[in-house]
Amino acid sequence: MSVAVEVRDLTKRFGTRTVVDHVSLTVETGQIVGFLGPNGSGKTTFIRMLCGLLTPDAGSGTVLGFDVITQSRLIRREVGYMTQRFSFYEDLSIAENLDFVARLYRLKPRARYVDETLDDLGLASRRDQLAGTLSGGWKQRLALAACIMHKPKLLLLDEPTAGVDPKARREFWDEIHRLSATGLTVLVSTHYMDEAERCHRIAYISYGKLIATGTVEGVIRDAALTTFVIRGPNLASLAEELEEAPGVEQIAPFGATLHVVGRDVGLLAKTLEPYSRRPGVSIERGSTNLEDVFIQLMTSAQDNMK
């Protein structure tokens, strides 16, 4: 497959603070890559460097075949960028907002581009509705429509589904996969583990550094964590007892169960064995999920604000 993004050691500093610290990434054309990481980890800054809005202080590479340092203007013409905040005119209708975007990109004939985009995103029946009266899910759809109207080759989405309901999120991701199937490359930052699992690959960035990258299955496997699931009475008090126990690195309630996670499976099993003899308590091996890995990576990363 062809490569859409290939960057090496991208670095961005603001004053004395290094926000993105020598991050390298390769993304194949048509892939959906999810960016995970805590708030302030550098995800947005990295995305803005890729789309030509920020110039890296160090590093090199190409985006869509253009040099990320010297050809940022050409990159911007081929990229659709959806920001965290809704940034359209709320006193204009959906169609009027799209017409404004078409003017910015000098698309001709504008009316045809607007009509086709309205049809593609299921917005035609609402074309005359004011943007300010839309629900979160419809605002999201309008923002996506504006991003893809000029037929970009790369779509950059910065936490696009924050604040929308589960149905709207699912419909949004169905649309993203439809676009990806046409060859559009998508990079998306998210805090939702279920969304990360819908990506072809994920990249975990913490405090400016790329900590892990690969498929979801590969990242979970490489974390080498073991999860035990505990069922029984008084799980809250049991969690307190296990908090400083040998081999226990994470404890998290999941419904009527308790998940206990660690890297040393032998030590963890030895620690939990006496608890399995308590009346009504059962302990069994479970499957480590992406959230377990996410928490582990957050815990082990070094804060660059200190």
128-137 residue pLDDT tens: 999 999 988 8
Q: 244 lies in which domain range? A: 226-287
Domain boundary among 201, 220, 239: 220
User: Which band of pLDDT confidence, cut at 50, 70 and 90, is reported for residue 245?
Assistant: very high
The continuous run of DSSP H or E covering 250 comes out as: strand 250-254
Alpha helices in 159-215 (DSSP H): 166-181, 193-196
Residues 174 and 236 in one domain: no
Residues 268 and 170 in one domain: no
Q: What is the pLDDT at residue 302?
A: 56
**Tens of pLDDT, residues 267-288:** 999 999 999 999 999 999 999 9
90: Cα separation from own chain's centroid? 27
Compute the distance between CA of residue 197 and CA of residue 168 in angstroms, rounded to an integer: 17
Compute the distance between CA of residue 65 and CA of residue 2 in angstroms, rounded to an integer: 10
Residues 80 and 131 in one domain: yes
Q: How many domains does the chain have?
A: 2
Share of the chain above pLDDT 90, in %: 73
What does residue 8 show for φ and ψ, rounded to 5 degrees? -130, 125
Question: pLDDT: is 198 or 297 the higher one?
Answer: 198
For residue 305, being part of any structural domain is answered with: no
Closest CA to 78 of 187, 148, 154, 143: 154
CB burial of residue 110 (10 Å; 0-12, 13-18, 19+) = middle
Residues 210 and 154 in one domain: yes
Q: What is the pLDDT at residue 301?
A: 60
For residue 298, being part of any structural domain is answered with: no
Q: What is the pLDDT at residue 241?
A: 92
Q: Is the predicted pLDDT of residue 305 greater than 80, yes or no?
A: no
Which CATH number covers residue 277?
3.30.70
